[in-house]
Amino acid sequence: MKSCTDRLAEVERIRQHVGTSLTELIFREDQRIARLQEDVERGVEGAAGNLRQAEMRQAELMERRNRRREELERQRSLTLQGLERMTAVLVLPHPEPEQPEVRNLRPDPETGQIAMRVAMEYERSQGRVVADVHEKNLGCDITTFDANSGELRLIEVKGLAGDEGVVALTPNEKRTGEDRRDCYWLYVVTRCKQPDGPRLMTIRDPAQLEWDEIRRIDYYALRAASLEARA
C-alpha cells in the first residue's frame, strides 16, 4: 500500500504539472486577448468575435485550473481510516489458461518493458519531460510535460509481442481516461518481440473508442468446510 508520504509527494508533483501547464496556457490567452483588443480598436473585421472566443477560452482554462486545484487539495487532505472487513474472496487459476483470449490478457513483463522504453524514448524525442509513474496506481504509466506548449500528457502504455492481440484497460485506467479526456493518451506498442522491431501507435482520448466490457464467470466454488453442516 502506498504510504501517506508517497501519496502527498505524488499529489504535489501532479499539482505542479497541472499548475504550470494551465498557467502557461492562460498566459498565452492573455497575450492573444491583448492583440485582439488592439485589432478591435483598429476596426479589424471579425476581431470582436475572435476576442469573445478568446475570453471564453481563458475563462474555461481558469475554471479548469481552479477545479483541478480543489480536487488535488481534497486528495491531499484524505487520510486512511480504520479498515472494516466486508467479505472474503477465493481466487483460483483459470481452468483453461492457454485459451487465446485468456493467454492474450496474461501480463508479459518483457513485452511491457519494451513498450515502456519505446513510449518514453518517443516522448523524449519530442522534447517532453517524462516521468515513469506505472507503479503509483494513477491510472496511467507515464506523464509527460512540454515546457514550450504547456501540454500535459497522461499516457497509458500497452505492449503486444506481435501484430495482433487484445488491448485491455483496468477499471482504474478506463476511469482515469474518462475523467481526463483533455490530456489522456493510449500508446500501443506492437511487434515488441519481432526481429524488425516494435511499432508505436498513439491514440488521443481513448475514452471515445468502443471498448468491450469483459465479464466472465467460469465456475462457482464453495469451501469444503462450509458443506459439513449440510451433509
Half-sphere exposure of 91 (CA within 13 A, CB side): 0
Q: What is the pLDDT of residues 169-202, one digit of tens each?
A: 988 899 899 988 889 999 999 999 998 889 999 9
More confident residue, 113 or 19: 113
C-alpha cell at 24: 502557461
155 has a pLDDT exceeding 60: yes
CA distances from 5 to 72, 79, 82, 130 (A): 15, 11, 18, 22
216 has a pLDDT exceeding 90: no
The fraction of the chain above a pLDDT of 90, given in percent, is 27
Helix (H) or strand (E) holding 218: none
| pLDDT at residue 138 in the model | 85
pTM attached to this predicted model? 0.55
| Fold assignment, 100-208 | Trna Endonuclease; Chain: A, domain 1 (3.40.1350)
The contacts of residue 71 (CB under 8 Å, 6+ apart) are none
DSSP secondary-structure letter at 213? P
CB distance 231 to 203 below 8 Å: no
Q: In sequence order, what are the beta bridge partners of 199?
A: 190
1 has a pLDDT exceeding 60: no
173: closest CA among 141, 201, 130? 141
More confident residue, 8 or 30: 30
Q: What are phi and psi of 131, to 5 degrees?
A: -130, 130
3-state secondary structure of 190: strand
Q: What is the pLDDT of residues 54-69, one digit of tens each?
A: 888 888 888 887 887 7
| pLDDT at residue 110 in the model | 92
